[in-house]
C-alpha cells in the first residue's frame, strides 16, 4: 500500500483517495463478506476477507501519512482491547456463560468511557452509518441492556417467526411506496426520536 500511494511511481487512483472516498468501499466489502458467509462460499469468503483487510490497510496507510497512527497501532490496540475485555481468559475473573461475558463486556466498556471522561450512554458507539433497520435493532438491544425497553405502540403480543416478520416488513415497505414515503429515512427518523427520548428520560432521572 505504501508503494501504491508513492507519489513517484504509485497508482494514480490510489493516490487520489482519502478516508471519505474509500469509506463506501469499506462498507461494500463488509456486506460482501456477509454475503459469502450466507451463501456458504468459503473460497469466496477468503477472497472477501482479503478485500476487507485491504480496506483496513488502506485507512491505516492514510492515517500514517497524516501522522495519526500506523497499521501496527491498529493491531496493538485491538490486542489490548481483547485482553482487557476478556479478564476470564487473560486474568483471574470467573465467567462461565456467554450472558455473563456480555454483562462483563458492557461493564468494562462503561468503565473505559468513565476513565475517558465520557458520560454513560448506551448509544454512543452505535454508528449512524448503519442501515436504518440494523441500527434500530442495535439501538433497541443496547437500550434493553441498560434496562430501557423500547416502546411498541403498534405491536401485538403475537410471537413472530422469521418468515412472518419478513412478510410484515415487506408489507410496510409496500405501504411506504404506495404513500410516497422513504422507508429507510422514516426509520432513521424514528431511530433519532428513540435515542432522543431515552437520553431525555435519562437526564430527567
Banded model confidence at residue 155, pLDDT cuts 50, 70, 90:
low
Q: Contact, 61 vs 72, CB < 8 A?
A: no
Residue 143 has pLDDT above 70, yes or no: yes
Q: What is the pTM (predicted TM-score) of this model?
A: 0.72
- Return the closest-CA partner of residue 32 out of 19, 46, 18, 13: 46
Banded model confidence at residue 83, pLDDT cuts 50, 70, 90:
very high
Least confident of 5-19, 137-151, 176-190: 137-151
- Return the closest-CA partner of residue 142 out of 182, 82, 102: 102
**111-140 tens-digit pLDDT:** 888 887 777 777 877 888 888 888 888 888
CB count, 10 Å around CB of 173?
Answer: 12
* DSSP-derived secondary structure for 98-145: HHHHHHHHHHHHHHHHHHTTPPP-TTTTS-TTS-HHHHHHHHHHHHHH
How do the domains of the chain map onto residue ranges? Answer: 12-82, 125-205
**Which among 50-59, 104-113, 134-143, 176-185 has the top mean pLDDT?**
50-59
- With cell 411498541, the residue in question is 152
**Which among 40-44, 84-88, 124-128, 137-141 has the top mean pLDDT?**
40-44
Mean pLDDT of the region 42-59: 98
> Which one is the CATH code of 12-82: 1.10.357.10, 1.10.287.1080, 3.40.50.1110, 3.10.180.10?
1.10.287.1080
**So what's the pLDDT on residue 15?**
98
Amino acid at each position: 500500500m505504501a508503494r501504491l500511494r508513492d507519489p513517484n511511481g504509485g497508482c494514480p487512483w490510489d493516490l487520489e483517495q482519502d478516508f471519505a472516498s474509500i469509506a463506501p468501499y469499506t462498507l461494500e466489502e463488509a456486506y460482501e463478506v456477509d454475503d459469502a458467509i450466507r451463501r456458504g462460499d468459503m473460497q469466496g469468503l477468503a477472497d472477501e476477507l482479503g478485500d476487507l483487510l485491504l480496506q483496513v490497510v488502506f485507512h491505516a496507510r492514510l492515517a500514517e501519512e497524516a501522522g495519526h497512527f500506523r497499521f501496527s497501532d491498529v493491531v496493538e490496540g485491538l490486542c489490548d482491547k481483547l485482553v482487557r475485555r476478556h479478564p476470564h481468559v487473560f486474568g483471574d475473573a470467573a465467567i462461565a456463560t456467554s450472558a455473563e461475558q456480555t454483562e462483563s463486556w458492557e461493564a468494562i466498556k462503561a468503565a473505559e468511557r468513565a476513565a475517558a471522561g465520557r458520560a454513560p450512554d448506551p448509544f454512543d458507539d452505535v454508528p449512524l452509518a448503519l442501515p436504518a433497520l440494523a441500527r434500530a435493532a442495535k439501538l433497541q438491544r443496547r437500550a434493553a441492556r441498560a434496562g430501557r425497553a423500547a416502546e411498541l405502540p403498534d405491536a401485538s403480543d403475537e410471537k413472530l417467526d422469521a418468515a412472518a416478520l419478513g412478510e410484515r416488513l415487506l408489507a410496510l415497505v409496500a405501504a411506504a411506496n404506495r404513500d410516497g414515503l422513504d422507508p429507510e429515512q422514516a426509520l432513521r427518523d424514528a431511530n433519532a426520536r428513540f435515542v432522543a427520548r431515552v437520553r431525555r428520560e435519562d437526564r430527567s432521572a
